[in-house]
Amino acid sequence: MRALWGVDDKPRRGPKPSVTIREIVTVATELADESGLDAVTMAAVAKRLQLTTMALYRHVDSRQDLVAVAGDTALGLPPQRSRRSGWRRQVNEWARAEFARLRAHPWVLDIILEGPPTGPNTIAWMDSGMQAIGSTGLDPQSAASALLVVDGFVRSMVTQARQYGDGTGWAHALASVVDPGEFPAVSAALSAGTFEDDDESFPSEQDIDFGLGLILDGIDRLVTAPARR
């Protein structure tokens, strides 16, 4: 955790390091962007930095630590909130910004966490989202729980986008094999052109708008519930 926050109260003895933590993390992020999280090994990072693997261990304790810092760095800071906008717009913009960031660095979702998030950028996203939802008057616990739902939706959309690919021709191919008698609901949806947008990309803008709309409507009902008046 201290490495994530840039806190080092135990300086290492010896000569000045030949590389910085920032340079190491930059290389790890580049490798992940190029070839996925599995490409981020201590040996691969050391090779690109022209170091021996053992030399790299003098700067980073483990691959797990390196991956954690790289993931938090790739996520970056959240955009500034439009404080004059309503809470719905703020949360919508937050969700879309997170979606864009994770689509740019999808390997972040492959990182296996050993507990709740602790990275400074991740905490900054959490704080920004909780402020947006908290502006409704919800208590911190409710705001945190609501944000968890929004975040889960965004991450689910990115994960499905990776699994589905571009979806080209999917609806037409499915329509040619689905039996209306056995799968009446899916068949009716195919006939109505429900999945035509998915032939181009997934998720479509309609998918995102619909999902976020449902969640925001739910938060709105929580805010305006009689028990809260």
Contacts with 223 (C-beta within 8 Å, 6 or more apart), sequence order:
136, 137, 138
Q: pLDDT digits over 154-204, tens only?
A: 999 999 888 877 666 778 888 889 999 999 999 999 998 887 765 556 777
Looking at residues 129-140, what average pLDDT do you find? 96
CB 96 within 8 A of CB 152: no
Q: Return the pLDDT at 11.
A: 46
| Per-residue pLDDT tens digits for 22-41 | 999 999 999 999 999 999 99
The number of beta carbons lying within 10 Å of the beta carbon of residue 222 is: 16
